Amino acid sequence: MSDEEQPDALDERYIVPGLARGLQMLQSFTRDRQEQTIAEMARHASVTRSSAFRIVYTLEACGFLRRGQDSRRYQLGSRVLELGYSFLAGKDLIEVATPILRKLRDDTQTSTHLAVREGWEVVYVARFQGNTSLISAMTVGTRLPAHATAPGRVLLTGLPLSEVVALYESYNFQTFTPETPDSIGALVDLVERARRETSVVSWGFFDRDVASVAAPVFGASGKLEAAISVSCPITTYDRENFSTTVRSAVEAAAAEISRGMGYRKMEAA
């Protein structure tokens, strides 16, 4: 290989040490190490306690770290997830989800969707039209209010309660059916109920004529990263069959996508 073909050598003059150490600290968080003290992060990044304090202070101020219930320990903040949203809506996630969502559509005769959350909205990043009388207006890129949809309720369970409250404290709630939450209290009740479930069933929640089920998709880190959902006219299934058979199929599909993204559920000891 000629000199011209050789890759450029790394020039240490242009490395920003503080940035490099901060990234090392963020990378030191794993599924098995989701909370750390400043001293622990300092050790992983090979920096002094005083340097670690300044780096952690900056990362916390920028939203990349947040304090846990024990104020001496830190967790990854929501900004880390925001960095990944473009990736989540990109090729890898959609490639993993596409054949599974197509099969789910064929098995259930419903329309199937893949969605992520951005702020108050659910953004649909993949969609497969079902063979029903419902001609969905949902297309890739469609945005719907998270508080009013089943995928939105699922995605909001990925936030701590305090962050849900902070996100919606000044929100002007719009209602679409009598089942739509019209206040932060009503939304919190629904999100906390969804947090205890493996999926969310909506029977006329957003559109009184549409039934839907949504389930979470987890990434390799164990974080809730996306949601899948199905929708169909409320007359397609009786409510009991929809809430059991279809719901089970959606949960199985979400689990399969999660495994494809590298997620491994932790077994109870």
Q: Do 127 and 113 form a contact (C-beta atoms < 8 A)?
A: yes
pLDDT for residue 79: 78
Same fold flag, 3-76 and 83-260: no
Q: Do 229 and 151 form a contact (C-beta atoms < 8 A)?
A: yes
pLDDT for residue 84: 56
Per-residue pLDDT at 267 exceeds 70? no
What does the domain layout of the chain look like in residue ranges?
3-76, 83-260
Q: At 144, is the secondary structure helix, strand, or coil?
A: strand
120 DSSP assignment:
T
The first and second tokens of residue 10, run together, are 């790394």
The first and second tokens of residue 98, run together, are 């596409």
Distance, in Å, from the CA atom of 232 to the CA atom of 130, rounded to the nearest integer, reads 8
Q: Do 116 and 85 form a contact (C-beta atoms < 8 A)?
A: yes
Per-residue pLDDT at 145 exceeds 80? yes
Per-residue pLDDT at 263 exceeds 90? no
Q: What is the pLDDT of residues 58-117, one digit of tens each?
A: 999 988 999 887 778 999 887 776 665 555 444 488 888 989 999 999 998 899 999 998
Nearest to 188 by CA among 160, 226, 221: 160
CATH topology of domain 83-260: Beta-Lactamase (3.30.450)
Supply the pTM of this predicted model. 0.62
Which one of 3.40.50.11900, 1.20.120.10, 1.10.10.10, 3.10.20.30 gives the CATH number of domain 3-76?
A: 1.10.10.10
Q: What is the pLDDT of residues 114-143, one digit of tens each?
A: 999 888 888 888 888 876 555 556 677 788
Average pLDDT over residues 180-187: 88
Q: What is the pLDDT of residues 11-23, one digit of tens each?
A: 888 888 888 899 9
